[in-house]
Amino acid sequence: MRVAVVGATGAVGQEILKVLEARNFPLSELRLYASPRSAGKTMVFRGEAIPVEPLPEGPLPVDLVLASAGGSLSKALAPVWAQGGALVIDNSSAWRYEPHVPLVVPEVNRERIFQHQGIIANPNCTTAILVMALWPLHRAFRAKRVIVATYQAASGAGAKGMEELLRETHRYLHGESPVAEVFAHPLPFNVIPHIDTFQENGYTREEMKVVWETHKIFGDDSLRISATAVRVPTLRAHAEAVSVEFERPVSPEAAREVLAQAKGVEVVDEPLARRYPMPLTASGKWNVEVGRIRKSLAFENGLDFFVVGDQLLKGAALNAVQIAEEWLKGP
């Protein structure tokens, strides 16, 4: 298996390399591509220094492309890579909403991997983390309405977002006024209810991605979903407070039992022992954490819960590698 990582020097690209190595992904050759300013650097993989190459405009000499280099680049070049014979697993938003492109979280809709036409899309990180907890509950109790409030880390804006949070926190702590370049406002000691661009309906595109992508991944447009996306001053791992109304009767005990059996999910739900999902404990973890599972006070057949997942892993790099692993296994 000849593999290319496009956008190898970015935050997600670096995580992809770590995941490929940690999971012992079967490859015979690894090519690393990035922008011309990164070309000539080397990155270490399995003890070997591999040069970073400038990205050519034509096909890549590989079987699999793991792309994380932005939507406009993927929109232009992913078809070229696919026509050259490679399967493209794309981390950007470029292909998520195309009807012919599968949008995949393997624990939810693995079968869609084998319906690709050369390109498979990775969902938005917020959606990926949500559906890991929501899908097993939806399958067991049939969700009708979902309300989500997110607490999204600086890592959602990539390496530059994390750098800005650290740099501007340092400025604040040394008596200087923090400034914002990556984010809409200074992020240190602040929360910002604004991620991505505002749409005509008053929601941001980040909030609508949760709606559009959950519908596509579940294959069900009837599920009513409303989201508020908020940037918070944590480095990595997104948290989400979720309220769900179900068609069937549900209890916290039954929900815990279902989630305990779900792949990729870790139930962390001992509030009296101060054990619940947090970015501090979910960062660097492949599984998403779910806890604070309790009966809703607003919905008759309802639950409230809290889910946290590493935005750079299950929200991006890990999910992409898992899609590739399942593709290799076959239907």
CB of 63 closer than 8 Å to CB of 30: no
Active site residue 100: no
Burial class for 160, CB neighbours closer than 10 Å (0-12, 13-18, 19+): middle
User: C-alpha 209: how far from its chain's center?
Assistant: 12
What is the distance between the alpha carbons of residues 318 and 42, in angstroms, rounded to a whole number? 22
Annotated catalytic residue within 116, 125, 138, 185:
125
| Catalytic-labelled residue, pool 100, 138, 185, 238 | 238
Distance CA 316, CA 124 (A): 8
Total Cβ atoms within 10 A of residue 174: 7
Order the strands of the 224-228 sheet from edge to edge. 224-228, 143-151, 238-246, 302-309, 288-295, 265-267
Q: Is 174 part of the annotated catalytic residue set?
A: no
Q: How far apart are CA 204 and CA 9, in angstroms?
A: 28
**Which of the residues are catalytic?**
125, 238
